[in-house]
């Protein structure tokens, strides 16, 4: 060590190597150099420490899974400084070192860097290269760690979904096997199932989100993660689809049970209505109302068909038979047997109610006595008998009207006695046929009234024919019989009159001696007068009423014709008598 004064430094050091403070010409800013040195030393310290930390983290990530678990604390250790900041500082420092001037020199005069600065440049470059390499590895480690963390989170969520669906979710469905014994019970089960579905929907929403995350990882993941991701995705999908299928199956089963109970209840109400209709006695009012009631009975009987119930029941039984495949190892034989027995019991009970047996049905739908088709047949027969009863009464009343019309026609139109014997005989023959028609009408009415008596006895109701129709029929027939007999008597007298008159008129020109007997003329005259007298006599009915044939003018015309006939006979007979007397005198 040489101790010298400041003015003697030039003896040992060139002036160009000394600053102005020591009388030299060297351009040097000590504060700038100091700042650069501090920055360099700080960068060197931070980078060295950061390299150690990154090496520790990176080397730890290269070990096996077991070692990763053991060194989880180291792997989760973060660098004490930000690698990006250190790298940025190093790049700025290297840029300054590579310049030929310091930014802080006063005059801006160029100068050569110091030796230590020249030596610092490769050191900074080496540290930067090491930092970039380690930081790149660190970024990959972080990316792998983030991916592993995300994968673990997904795996944890998947297991949460799977465990709930296979645990509490499956237990909820295992506890729901009944179908209810009525509409209300089925609706309560359906509401409970909707609550279960609501709980499942929350987990299904998680499944959808997880499935999207897994799909994104599969598209961007490494080959080493593909197998694990696909396995998680497959496991999650299998459990969710199986649970969703079981929920849908349960929903369909409850819907089928609800429809079955609805059809059973409607059918039971229809059977109850039909039974109530059969239990109410039908009071005969008129044929139209009975026909309407019979039509309503036929419609009700037609509406209580069992085909719809059988179809719904068989469909429900088929679904129940497939229920064992969703049992998850649970023995559902007992539950299924109860459901099957209930369905078959409802169908059998309905069948018995509609057919022949009568029994008390123990079912929530009905408590009345069983209904049998024989009751419907009896009611139908009774109503048909009522219809026939009213029809017989209507036809019997119509027969009375016809007979009354025949009587009216007999008295008003059957008044002619004929112009000669032949015509009168024709009228008599027509009258007998007319009487036959009236007889058939009367017999028809009697038969109908007899049928009403039999029907009333069968229906156990008061005889209706003896009240009005039968007396009217007998009264009209009696009147017709009296009038008919009077008509026959008049026609027979007219035939006798015309026959005798025609005989005299025919015999006078040919055999004058045959008319000499005056008794013949007296007989004709007596018959004619009797006939004329009969025309003025009314028909007297049993009740004292009187009725004439035709109008007075009709009777006068007929009487005039008979008188003219009698005059002709008398004139003819007198003429031949006078002629015969003259011949005899000569």
Q: 233, 219 in Cβ contact below 8 A?
A: no
Last residue of a domain, one of 310, 327, 358: 358
Q: Does 443 have pLDDT greater than 90? A: yes
DSSP annotation string for 194-242: HHHHHHHHHHHHHHHHHHHHHHHHHHH--HHHHHHHHHHHHHHHHHHHH
Query: What does the block give as tokens for 108?
Result: 């801006």
Q: Which of 328, 358, 388 is the last residue of a domain?
A: 358
The Cα–Cα gap between 87 and 56 comes to 19
pLDDT of residue 464: 57
418 and 331 inside one domain:
no
429 occurs within a structural domain:
yes
Task: Report the pLDDT value the prediction gives residue 320, as an integer from 0 to 100.
Answer: 82
Farthest-apart Cα atoms in the chain, separation = 240
List Cβ<8 Å contacts ≥24 apart for 115-122. Answer: 116/37, 117/36, 120/40, 121/94, 121/97
Name 539's bridge partners: 547
Residue 70 is predicted with a pLDDT of: 45
Task: Specify whether 158 is located in the same domain as 187.
Answer: no
* Higher pLDDT, residue 475 or 328: 475
| 189 and 319 co-located in one domain | yes
Q: What's the total number of domains in the chain?
A: 3
Question: 526, 496, 510, 492: which is closest to 572 by C-alpha?
Answer: 510
pLDDT at residue 395 tops 80: yes
In terms of residue numbers, what domain contains 249?
175-358
On the question of pLDDT at 365 being above 50, the answer is: no
∠ at Cα 428 (424, 433), nearest 5°? 145
Where among 136, 164, 192 does a domain terminate? Answer: 164
In a shared domain, residues 478 and 556 = yes
Percent of the chain whose predicted confidence (pLDDT) is above 70: 77
Which of 476, 435, 437, 467 shows the shortest CA–CA distance to 449?
467
Question: How many angstroms separate the CA atoms of 247 and 174, rounded?
Answer: 11
Q: Is residue 365 part of a domain?
A: no
Mean pLDDT of 340-346: 87
Q: How far apart are CA 198 and CA 204, in angstroms?
A: 10
- 197 with 93, same domain: the answer is no
DSSP H helix total and E strand total for the chain:
16, 2
* Cβ–Cβ under 8 Å, residues 352 and 425: no
Note the pLDDT of residue 107: 46
- Band (pLDDT 50/70/90 cuts) for residue 223 is low
pLDDT of 381 reads 80
Q: Is the pLDDT of residue 63 over 50?
A: yes
Give the model's pLDDT for residue 71. Answer: 44
Same domain, 390 and 269: no
Query: Per-residue pLDDT for 237 more than 70?
Result: yes
Residue 42 lies in a domain: yes
Which whole number is the average pLDDT over 25-33? 77
What average pLDDT does range 138-148 have in this prediction? 81
Of residues 62 and 570, which shows the higher confidence score? 570
DSSP category for residue 502: H
pLDDT at 109: 47
Distance between CA atoms of residues 387 and 284, nearest Å: 9
Same domain for 390 and 435? yes
In a domain, 264, yes or no: yes
Convert 245-283 into a string of H (helix), E (strand) and C (coil): HHHHHHHHHHHHHHHHHHHHHHHHHHHHHHHHHHHCCCC
* Cα–Cα distance, 338 to 331 (Å, whole number): 13
Question: Distance between CA atoms of 184 and 218, rounded to whole angstroms?
Answer: 49
Residue 130 domain flag: yes
373-413 helix and 469-510 helix, angle to the nearest 10 degrees: 30
Compute the 3-state secondary structure of the chain and give helix, strand, coil in percent, each to the nearest 5: 80, 0, 20
* Residue with the larger pLDDT of the pair 225 and 401: 401
Same domain, 305 and 205: yes
Distances (CA, A) of 348 to 206, 253, 262, 275, 572: 48, 21, 16, 18, 102
pLDDT tens, position by position, 239-250: 999 889 888 988
Across residues 482-505, what is the average pLDDT? 85
Q: How far is CA 166 from CA 160, 174, 417, in A?
A: 10, 11, 115
Q: What is the pLDDT of residues 189-203, one digit of tens each?
A: 889 989 999 998 998
pLDDT digits (tens, 9 = 90+) for 86-110: 888 888 888 877 774 444 444 444 4
Residue 433 pLDDT greater than 90, yes or no: yes
The mean per-residue pLDDT over the stretch 168-196 comes to 86
The answer to whether position 66 is within a domain reads no
User: Could you say which DSSP state residue 27 is in?
Assistant: -
CA dist 224 → 229, 235, 257, 290 (Å) = 9, 18, 51, 89
Nearest to 96 by CA among 82, 113, 108: 113
459 and 523 inside one domain:
yes
Tell me, yes or no, whether 435 and 333 share the same domain.
no
Q: Is the backbone of residue 418 left (phi > 0), alpha (psi -120 to 50) or beta?
A: left
- Report pLDDT for 432: 92
Mean pLDDT across the chain: 77
Contact 181, 364 (CB under 8 A): yes
The answer to which of 38-42, 353-357, 454-458, 557-561 has the lowest mean pLDDT is 353-357
Whether 339 and 380 map to the same domain: the answer is: no
The residue to which tokens 């007989």 are assigned: 523
- The 10s digit of each residue's pLDDT in 105-139 is 444 444 455 666 667 778 888 888 888 888 888 88
**Residue from 208, 206, 385 nearest 290 by CA:** 385
> Looking at residues 154-166, what average pLDDT do you find?
88
Does 491 fall in a domain?
A: yes
CA angle 103, 106, 112 (to 5 degrees): 60
Structure tokens at 526: 């007596």
Q: Sorting pLDDT into bands at 50, 70 and 90, what band is 481?
A: very high
Residue with more model confidence, 169 or 372: 169
Angstrom distance (rounded) from CA 443 to CA 450: 10
Is 393 in contact with 462 (CB distance < 8 Å)? no
SS3 state at 63: coil
Arithmetic mean of pLDDT, 523-529? 81
- Of the candidates 239, 246, 232, the one whose C-alpha atom is nearest the C-alpha of residue 204 is 239
CATH number of residue 484's parent domain: 1.20.58
Instruction: Identify the bridge partners of residue 369 per DSSP, sorted by sequence position.
Output: 360
Nearest to 406 by CA among 436, 429, 428: 436
Predicted pLDDT at 402: 93
Q: Is 470 exposed, middle or buried (0-12, 13-18, 19+ CB in 10 A)?
A: buried
**Residue 17: in which H helix or E strand, if any?**
none
Percent of the chain at pLDDT > 90 equals 7
Q: What angle do CA 312, 317, 319 make, to 5 degrees?
A: 95
Closest-CA residue to 81 (of 60, 52, 61): 52
Predicted TM-score (pTM) of this structure: 0.54
Assess whether pLDDT exceeds 70 at residue 435. Answer: yes
Comparing 329-333, 486-490, 576-580, the range with the smallest average pLDDT is: 576-580
Phi then psi dihedrals of residue 377, to 5 deg: -65, -40
Q: Which structure tokens are listed for 345?
A: 């019991």
477 Cβ partners below 8 Å, 6+ apart? 403, 438, 442
Assess whether 179 and 275 both reside in one domain.
Answer: yes
Does 370 map to a domain? no
């Amino acid at each position: 060590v040489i101790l010298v004064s400041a003015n003697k430094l030039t003896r040992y050091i060139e002036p160009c190597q000394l600053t102005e403070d020591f009388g030299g010409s060297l351009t040097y800013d000590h504060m700038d150099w100091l700042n650069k040195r501090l920055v360099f030393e700080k960068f060197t310290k931070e980078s060295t420490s950061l390299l150690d930390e990154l090496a520790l983290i990176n080397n730890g990530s290269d070990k096996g899974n077991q070692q990763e678990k053991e060194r989880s604390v180291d792997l989760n250790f973060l660098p004490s400084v930000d690698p990006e900041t250190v790298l940025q500082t190093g790049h700025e420092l290297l840029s300054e070192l590579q310049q030929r001037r310091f930014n802080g020199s006063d005059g801006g005069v160029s100068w050569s860097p110091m030796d230590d600065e020249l030596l610092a440049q490769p050191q900074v470059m080496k540290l930067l290269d090491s930092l970039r390499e380690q930081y790149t590895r660190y970024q990959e480690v972080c990316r792998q760690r983030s991916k592993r963390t995300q994968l673990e989170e997904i795996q944890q969520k998947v297991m949460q979904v799977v465990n709930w669906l296979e645990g509490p979710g499956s237990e909820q469905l295992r506890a729901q096997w009944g179908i209810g014994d009525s509409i209300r019970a089925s609706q309560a089960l359906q509401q409970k199932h909707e609550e279960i579905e609501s709980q499942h929907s929350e987990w299904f929403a998680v499944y959808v989100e997880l499935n999207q995350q897994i799909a994104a990882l599969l598209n961007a993941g490494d080959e080493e993660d593909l197998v694990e991701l696909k396995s998680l995705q497959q496991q999650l999908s299998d459990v969710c689809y199986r649970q969703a299928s079981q929920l849908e199956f349960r929903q369909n089963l409850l819907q089928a049970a609800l429809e079955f109970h609805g059809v059973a209840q409607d059918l039971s109400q229809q059977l109850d209505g039909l039974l109530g209709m059969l239990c109410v006695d039908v009071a005969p009012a008129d044929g139209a109302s009975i026909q309407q009631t019979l039509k309503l009975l036929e419609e009700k009987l037609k509406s209580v068909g069992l085909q719809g119930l059988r179809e719904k029941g068989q469909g429900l039984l088929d679904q129940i038979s497939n229920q064992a495949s969703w049992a998850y190892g649970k023995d559902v034989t007992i539950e299924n047997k109860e459901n099957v027995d209930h369905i078959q019991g409802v169908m059998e009970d309905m069948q018995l109610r509609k057919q022949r047996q009568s029994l008390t049905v123990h079912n929530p739908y009905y408590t009345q006595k069983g209904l049998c088709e024989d009751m419907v047949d009896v009611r139908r027969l009774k109503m048909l008998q009522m219809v026939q009863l009213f029809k017989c009464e209507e036809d019997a009343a119509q027969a009375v009207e016809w007979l009354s019309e025949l009587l009216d026609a007999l008295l008003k139109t059957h008044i002619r006695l004929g112009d000669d014997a032949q015509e009168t005989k024709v009228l008599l023959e027509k009258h007998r046929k007319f009487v036959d028609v009236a007889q058939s009408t009367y017999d028809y009415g009697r038969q109908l009234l007899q049928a009403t008596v039999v029907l009333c006895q069968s229906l156990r109701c008061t005889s209706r024919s003896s009240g009005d129709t039968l007396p009217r029929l007998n009264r009209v027939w009696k009147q017709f019989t009296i009038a008919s007999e009077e008509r026959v008597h008049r026609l027979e007298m007219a035939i006798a009159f015309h026959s005798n008159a025609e005989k005299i008129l025919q015999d006078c020109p040919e055999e004058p001696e045959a008319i000499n007997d005056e008794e013949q003329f007296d007989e004709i005259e007596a018959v004619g007068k009797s006939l004329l007298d009969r025309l003025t006599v009314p028909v007297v009915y049993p009740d004292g009423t009187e009725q004439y044939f035709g109008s007075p003018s009709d009777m006068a015309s007929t009487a005039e014709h008979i008188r003219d006939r009698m005059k002709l006979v008398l004139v003819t007979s007198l003429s031949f008598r006078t002629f015969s007397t003259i011949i005899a005198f000569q």
